[in-house]
């Protein structure tokens, strides 16, 4: 009698758990769930840049001799040709097959990102743009004239507000430190210096004035420019016309 009761209880138990076992079996045959791939924004404004020039009437020696840090600018606008030339000098592509750039980079890791803060530029709306060296174009990050905000974040250095533009160099350190460890931090800073000197010499060749600025609140600059979380600002470089 007790044996029959036990068998009946076992059957009832199996009937009760059968649906759960079926669900587990079906789930085992299904591929694991994955997070949907984020869709990149489709409304980003892009601006193709003119092709840069590869010669000028100013020699390298003349540019070195005349290079100065300039903080006084007129209110005259810059042209898109000048913008293209400056950005190319900082981080432009010089060897498309391997992606080599105007500035040397440790292991060709290229940790730098380049931003244009446009104030008064012919045919370009005021705003923040990221430079795409591979495509030689600008991609809008935010619109509006943010030069006053940027100057405030840079301890009130008013010439940043008065310059027609600023070029901001930021870095994704991991691109270099993933290969070289902590030593890569030094390499990133060296690379920023290379790019800044290129800009200085190009500014001389274009008869423009500029200065490199390292005194600013990193978090404030990052927020103003809407930098991704992995990027850190290194230089603010105002550029403008001089008397």
Q: Mind giving me the DSSP string for 102-132?
A: SS--GGG---EEEEEEESSBTTB-SEEEEEE
Q: How far is the C-alpha of 58 from the C-alpha of 67, rounded, in Å?
A: 12
Residue 91 gets the label, from left (phi > 0), alpha (psi -120 to 50) or beta, of alpha
28 pLDDT more than 90: no
First to last CA, the chain: 111
Residue 147 DSSP one-character state = H
Q: What is the secondary structure of 52-112 as a DSSP string?
A: PPS--SS-HHHHHHH--------SPPBPHHHHHHHHHHHH-EEETTTTEESS--GGG---E
Report the half-sphere exposure of 159 (CA within 13 A, side-chain side).
18
* 203-227 mean pLDDT: 98
Give the model's confidence band at 34: pLDDT under 50 very low, under 70 low, under 90 confident, else very high: very low
149 pLDDT more than 50: yes
SS3 of residue 208 by DSSP: coil
19 pLDDT more than 80: no
Give the model's confidence band at 43: pLDDT under 50 very low, under 70 low, under 90 confident, else very high: low
- Read off the tokens for 103: 């500035």
Between 147 and 2, name the one with better pLDDT.
Answer: 147
53 pLDDT more than 90: yes
List, in sequence order, every beta strand (DSSP E) within 127-217. Answer: 127-132, 137-143, 165-171, 209-210
Lowest mean pLDDT among 11-20, 84-93, 161-170: 11-20
Q: What is the mean pLDDT of the chain?
A: 88
The percent of residues above 70 in pLDDT, for the chain, comes to: 82
Between 30 and 171, name the one with better pLDDT.
Answer: 171
- Under a CB-based contact definition with an 8 Å cutoff, are residues 199 and 83 in contact? no
C-alpha pair distances (Å), 241 with each of 56, 95, 133, 150: 18, 31, 24, 19
Give the model's confidence band at 240: pLDDT under 50 very low, under 70 low, under 90 confident, else very high: very high
- The CATH class of 46-240 is alpha beta
* 70-81 mean pLDDT: 98
108 pLDDT more than 70: yes
125 pLDDT more than 90: yes
Q: How far is the C-alpha of 41 from the C-alpha of 44, rounded, in Å?
A: 6
* 78-100 mean pLDDT: 97
* pLDDT at residue number 189: 98
Sequence spans of domains, the chain: 46-240
* pLDDT at residue number 44: 80
């Amino acid at each position: 009698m007790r044996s029959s009761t036990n068998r009946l209880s076992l059957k009832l138990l199996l009937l009760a758990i059968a649906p759960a076992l079926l669900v587990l079996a079906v789930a085992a045959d299904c591929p694991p769930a994955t997070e949907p791939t984020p869709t990149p924004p489709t409304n980003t404004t892009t601006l193709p840049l003119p092709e840069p020039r590869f010669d000028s009437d100013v020699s390298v020696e003349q540019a070195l001799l005349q290079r100065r840090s300039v903080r006084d600018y007129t209110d005259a606008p810059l042209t898109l040709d000048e913008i293209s030339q400056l950005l190319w000098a900082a981080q432009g592509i010089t060897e498309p097959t391997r992606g080599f750039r105007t500035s040397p980079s440790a292991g060709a890791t290229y940790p730098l990102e380049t931003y244009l803060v446009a104030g008064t530029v012919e045919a370009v709306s005021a705003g923040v743009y990221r430079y795409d060296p591979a495509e030689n174009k600008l991609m809008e990050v935010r619109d509006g004239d943010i030069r006053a905000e940027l100057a405030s974040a840079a301890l009130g250095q008013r010439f940043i507000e008065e310059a027609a533009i600023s070029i901001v160099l930021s870095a994704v350190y991991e691109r270099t430190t993933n290969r070289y460890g902590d030593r890569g931090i030094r390499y990133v800073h060296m690379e920023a210096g290379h790019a800044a000197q290129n800009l200085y010499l190009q500014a001389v060749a274009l008869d423009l004035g500029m200065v490199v600025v390292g005194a600013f609140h990193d978090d404030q600059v990052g927020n103003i420019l809407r930098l991704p979380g992995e990027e850190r600002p290194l230089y603010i470089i105002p550029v403008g016309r001089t008397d």
